Chains A and B, each alone.
Chain A
Amino acid sequence: MFRDVTFGQYYPASSFVHSMDARVKLLLTLLFLVGIFFVQSFVVYGFVAVFLLTVIFVSRVPLRSVLRSIKGIIVLLVLTAVINVFFTKGADAAESPLWAWSPWNGFTIEIYVNGLKTAGKIFLRLVLLVMGSSVLTLTTTPVDLTHAVESLLKPLKLIKFPVHEFALIMSLTLSFIPSLIDETDRIIRAQKARGADFDTGGLVKRAKAFVPILIPLLVGGFRRAEELANAMNSRCYEGATKRTCMRVMKLGWRDAVASLLVVAFFAGVFVLYGMRGQWNFITWLYY
Chain B
Amino acid sequence: MVSLSKRTALCRWFQAGLTVLVCLCTTGCWDSLEIEQRAMVLGLSVDIAQVPSDDSHFATERNTGNASESPRPLQVQGRPESEAATARATAKETARMPIRLTAQIPIPGRIPLGPGESGGGGANNPSQSVWVVHSTGETVTEALQCLQQQVADPLFFGHLRVIVVSREFAQKRGLSDLMDYLRRNPQVRRTLWILVSEHEAAKLLATAPPLKRVPTLYLISTMDQAIRLGKFPTEFLGVAESKVVMKGRDMVLPYVDVQHGETMLLQGMAFFRDYRLAGVVTGIPGVYTYMELCGIRQGGIVDRAQLPGGSWVVLQSYRRRRSIRLQMVQDQPVFDVYVHIDFHIHQTSGDPLNLSNPATLRLIERRESEKIISAQKDLIRRTQQAGSDIVGFGEFVRAYRPGWWDAHIQTKDRWREVYKTLPVHLHVKSRVRVYGMRAR
Whether both chains belong to one complex is answered with: no
List residues of chain B with CB under 8 Å of any chain A CB: none
